[in-house]
């Protein structure tokens, strides 16, 4: 194979050898030339640009300066002695400090010598300084090396054997200068042209040793592009193949069901966003191809009614619909709400959950098979083999992040000949870039508008010590006729301590407000008990619901207008936003109170601040992505798919857009990469799939 030499062990690099190679492999996972070439610098230092010492400020995280040594001395320190050097340029002076056995340095540095130093500035009594800076002595007459010097991720152990951030650069220089042939190109020539990308060999050379900023940007752009391109290609190819070859059930009619409901029984006017999404769905199901659509809409944006209207499209054409909910409570709620909506049309809705009784099941199975039940709502139980439909045409999955891809596939098996259309709904607003990387194989619709008249939820962040104030507020709200959620974190279902906290919290609450009807809800209760608590809350008999996050998803009680979240610092941003979405659904002003302990981490403080500042789910999702990185976002499949070395899903959205259009351009013309100009790309993708490793990036 082309470029075989790239799998050479780095032990063969001049100046490396087996012991250094072993440590590089252990510490950084670098084994081959290819690994080393994809070990990218984290920073570049321009050896010709210097910060005047007098202008260094505390906000700078890294500076490089040049000056003359005007003074040096040894100072006694606590236990360790301290060697300091005063460096002066025209604008000011700073103090460089080294601790420990620095005799060799004292010998090396002479008064009057010119020194280049680089590092993080520290300030002492208003004066700039550096501790253990990177430095280089400039010999008289020596010219400054132009270009950017790379600095590489390293480790303490590697530093000790000379492979510090600069030392790894020397190794890379050896590798790059010794390459027997150019690094093979993997993108088609025409694409390089169209997107103004430099060649691959050039890009690798320049990303390690850029002659200037322009070259560096060109190299980074090219390699980021490539990284995203390879991640998207197979996904979009799959999507194209499905579209071309996966026929779907044609649902051409809109009839009595859809129109009857829309014109006579819809309790409100649809928002423009809801109408647009329905048009998109309609176009899919008419097309004769299978719909695979992700519907994103912030909590409370009205996805349920879209699901109902979508089910009616299927019914009008004689097909059944399955609606999958992630929890028992949510399935119950959907069942009750949707039955009520559809009863005037004489449509029978069924429900199947883990707690459905055997006798009910038997009846239900029969009613499904003879087609009496047009819409079945349920949990995972719906996926069991015994559940057979007469003619399933539509599968709607609510709050997708609890359902895996495999489960989606099991729904397919329930169909007779053609797979059902699939609508996946999520209230976890996934930032656009992430949606494109994760669900590149689905079409995406967005409800980006809330029904009219919604008031923003007022969010307040308080320390736990003000709990009495919170109790007073709860009493006042209950007296005004409102209902309240009081939520405790339950990160891990099996954690006893979390239950204990919640149950204790409930006791304390009852002591303080004994006359207010309150009850507890959590995941370890029997389904029937959960149901009855929830039913009493929905009816307004229970005023305060003390619970774990089981109420997180989908539950809709418009009269509940206060959400108190205990130990809010233990929740991620998306989850806080989901919880807050349980209130603000009625006409009343709603509140979300975040209670936290002392000593919040900086990140936790930031999370609280974001919640207080905005109600916009997409902004929150973007911030979440920024704070936690994509691997942790709820609703994502495997983090591995999103680990990029260069590309950032937060910053590189525009690059990703370009990449997608580049990928489509090829897939539209040559979907299976049979053309000679795509041979290198095909080879590369195949090699990458054989060995999903860093090797894949370069082989
Ligand atoms: P979610 O997208 O979170 O699932 P729901 O479908 O539960 O949201 O809708 C939230 C609330 O908004 C429900 O009470 C629903 O009846 C109401 N609703 C939905 N669409 C509209 C609309 N166009 N106008 C007014 N209210 C609406
Ligand atoms: Mg919902």
Q: Looking at residue 72, what is its pLDDT?
A: 93
Q: Looking at residue 635, what is its pLDDT?
A: 46
For residue 690, pLDDT beyond 90 = no
Which of 152, 72, 168 has the alpha carbon at shortest distance from 111? 72
Q: Looking at residue 512, what is its pLDDT?
A: 92
For residue 295, pLDDT beyond 60 = yes
pLDDT, mean of residues 285-312: 91
Q: Looking at residue 251, what is its pLDDT?
A: 95
For residue 275, pLDDT beyond 80 = yes
Q: Which of ligand 1's atoms lies nearest the C-alpha of 271?
A: 23
Does 318 or 522 have the greater pLDDT score? 318
Q: Looking at residue 2, what is its pLDDT?
A: 45
Ligand 1, atom 17: closest residue by C-alpha: 302
pLDDT, mean of residues 463-480: 93
CATH superfamily ID and name for 49-144: Nucleic acid-binding proteins (2.40.50.140)
Q: Looking at residue 406, what is its pLDDT?
A: 56
Q: Which of ligand 1's atoms lies nearest the C-alpha of 337?
A: 16
Ligand 1: residues with CB < 6 A are 268, 270-271, 274, 297, 299-305, 427, 451, 554, 556, 558, 585
| Mean pLDDT score of the chain | 86
For residue 77, pLDDT beyond 50 = yes
Indicate which ligand has the atom closest to the C-alpha of 271.
Answer: 1
Which of 492, 553, 555, 499 has the alpha carbon at shortest distance from 522? 499
Cβ-contact 296, 444 below 8 angstroms: yes
For residue 561, pLDDT beyond 60 = yes
Range of weakest confidence among 12-21, 44-53, 502-511, 546-555: 546-555
Cβ-contact 544, 516 below 8 angstroms: yes
Indicate which ligand has the atom closest to the C-alpha of 557.
Answer: 1
Give the model confidence (pLDDT) of 534-546 as tens digits: 889 988 999 999 9
Ligand 1, atom 4: closest residue by C-alpha: 303
Asked if domains 256-447 and 458-614 share a fold, the reply is yes
Q: Which of ligand 1's atoms lies nearest the C-alpha of 304?
A: 6
For residue 76, pLDDT beyond 80 = no
Torsion of CA 300, 301, 307, 308, to 10 degrees: 80
CATH of 458-614, one of 3.20.20.10, 1.20.120.1200, 1.20.210.10, 3.40.50.300: 3.40.50.300
Range of weakest confidence among 31-40, 411-420, 654-663: 411-420
Q: Which fold has domain 256-447?
A: Rossmann fold (3.40.50)
For residue 403, pLDDT beyond 60 = no
Expressed in angstroms and rounded, the spacing between residue 551 Cα and the centre of ligand 1 is 17
pLDDT, mean of residues 187-199: 96
For residue 449, pLDDT beyond 50 = yes
Q: Looking at residue 606, what is its pLDDT?
A: 93
pLDDT band at 3 (very low <50, low <70, confident <90, very high): low
Place of tokens 């709603």: 590
Q: Which of ligand 1's atoms lies nearest the C-alpha of 303?
A: 2
The length of the chain is 699
Q: Looking at residue 639, what is its pLDDT?
A: 39
Range of weakest confidence among 262-266, 305-309, 397-401, 446-450: 397-401
- Domain positions in the chain are 49-144, 189-245+652-698, 256-447, 458-614
Give the model confidence (pLDDT) of 605-662 as tens digits: 999 999 999 988 888 888 887 887 665 554 444 334 456 888 887 778 889 889 999 9
CB neighbour class for 361 (10 Å; exposed up to 12, middle 13-18, buried from 19): middle
With a CB cutoff of 8 Å and minimum separation 6, the contacts of 636 are: 430, 434, 438, 630, 642
pLDDT band at 699 (very low <50, low <70, confident <90, very high): very low
């Amino acid at each position: 194979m082309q470029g075989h030499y790239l799998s050479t062990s780095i032990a063969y690099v001049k100046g490396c050898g087996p012991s250094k190679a072993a440590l590089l492999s252990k510490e950084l996972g670098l084994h081959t030339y290819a690994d080393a070439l994809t070990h990218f610098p984290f920073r570049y230092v321009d050896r010709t640009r210097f910060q005047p010492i007098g202008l260094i400020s505390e906000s700078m995280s890294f500076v490089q300066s040049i000056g003359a040594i005007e003074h040096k001395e040894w100072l006694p320190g606590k236990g360790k002695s301290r060697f300091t050097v005063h460096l002066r340029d025209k604008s000011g002076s700073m103090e460089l400090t080294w601790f420990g056995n620095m005799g060799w340095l004292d010998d090396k540095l002479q008064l009057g010598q010119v020194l280049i130093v680089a590092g993080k500035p520290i300030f002492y009594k208003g004066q700039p300084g550096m501790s253990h800076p990177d430095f280089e002595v400039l010999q008289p007459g020596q010219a400054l090396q132009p270009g950017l010097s790379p600095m590489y991720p390293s480790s303490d152990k590697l530093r000790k054997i000379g492979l510090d951030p600069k030392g790894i650069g020397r190794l890379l220089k050896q590798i790059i200068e010794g390459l027997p042939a150019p690094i093979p190109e993997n993108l088609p020539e025409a694409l390089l042209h169209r997107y103004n990308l430099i060649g691959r060999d050039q890009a690798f050379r320049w990303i390690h040793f850029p002659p200037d900023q322009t070259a560096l940007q060109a190299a980074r752009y090219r390699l980021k592009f490539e990284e995203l391109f390879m991640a998207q290609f197979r996904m979009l190819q799959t999507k194209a193949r499905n579209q071309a070859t996966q026929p779907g059930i044609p649902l051409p009619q809109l009839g009595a069901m859809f129109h009857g409901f829309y014109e006579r029984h819809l309790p409100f006017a649809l928002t423009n966003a809801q109408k647009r999404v329905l048009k998109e769905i309609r176009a899919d199901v008419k097309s004769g191809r299978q719909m695979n659509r992700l519907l994103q809409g912030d909590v409370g944006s009205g996805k349920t009614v879209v699901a109902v209207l979508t089910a009616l499209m299927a019914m009008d054409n004689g097909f059944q619909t399955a609606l999958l909910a992630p929890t028992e409570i949510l399935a119950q709620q959907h069942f009750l709400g949707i039955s009520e909506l559809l009863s005037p049309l004489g449509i029978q809705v069924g429900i199947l959950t883990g707690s459905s009784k055997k006798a009910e099941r038997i009846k239900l199975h029969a009613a499904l098979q003879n087609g009496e039940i047009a819409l079945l709502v349920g949990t995972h139980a719906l996926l069991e083999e015994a559940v057979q439909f007469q003619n399933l045409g539509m599968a709607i999955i609510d709050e997708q992040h609890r359902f895996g891809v495999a489960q989606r596939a099991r729904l397919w098996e329930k169909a007779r000949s053609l797979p059902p259309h699939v609508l996946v709904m999520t209230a976890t607003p996934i930032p656009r870039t992430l949606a494109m990387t994760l669900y590149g194989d689905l079409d995406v619709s967005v409800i980006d508008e809330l029904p009219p008249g919604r008031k923003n939820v007022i969010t307040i962040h308080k320390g736990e010590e003000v709990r009495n104030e919170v109790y007073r507020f709860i009493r006042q709200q209950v007296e005004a006729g409102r209902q309240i959620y009081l939520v405790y974190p339950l990160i891990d279902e099996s954690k006893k301590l979390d239950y204990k906290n919640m149950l204790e919290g409930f006791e304390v609450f009852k002591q303080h407000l004994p006359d207010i009807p309150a009850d507890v809800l959590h995941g370890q209760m029997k389904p029937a008990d959960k149901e009855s608590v929830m039913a009493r809350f929905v009816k307004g008999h229970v005023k305060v619901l003390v619970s774990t996050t089981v109420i997180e998803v989908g539950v809709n009680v418009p009269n509940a207008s206060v959400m108190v979240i205990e130990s809010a610092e233990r929740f991620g941003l998306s989850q806080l936003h989901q919880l807050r979405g349980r209130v603000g659904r009625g006409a009343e002003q709603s509140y979300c109170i975040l209670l936290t302990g002392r000593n919040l981490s900086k990140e936790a403080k930031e999370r609280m601040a974001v919640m207080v500042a905005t109600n916009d789910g997409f902004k929150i999702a973007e911030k979440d992505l920024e704070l936690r990185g994509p691997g942790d976002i709820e609703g994502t499949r495997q983090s591995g798919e999103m680990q990029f070395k260069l590309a950032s899903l937060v910053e590189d959205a525009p690059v990703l857009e370009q990449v997608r259009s580049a990928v489509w351009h090829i897939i539209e013309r040559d979907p299976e990469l049979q053309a000679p100009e795509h041979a290198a790309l095909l080879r590369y993708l195949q090699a990458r799939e054989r060995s999903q490793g860093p090797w894949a990036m370069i082989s």
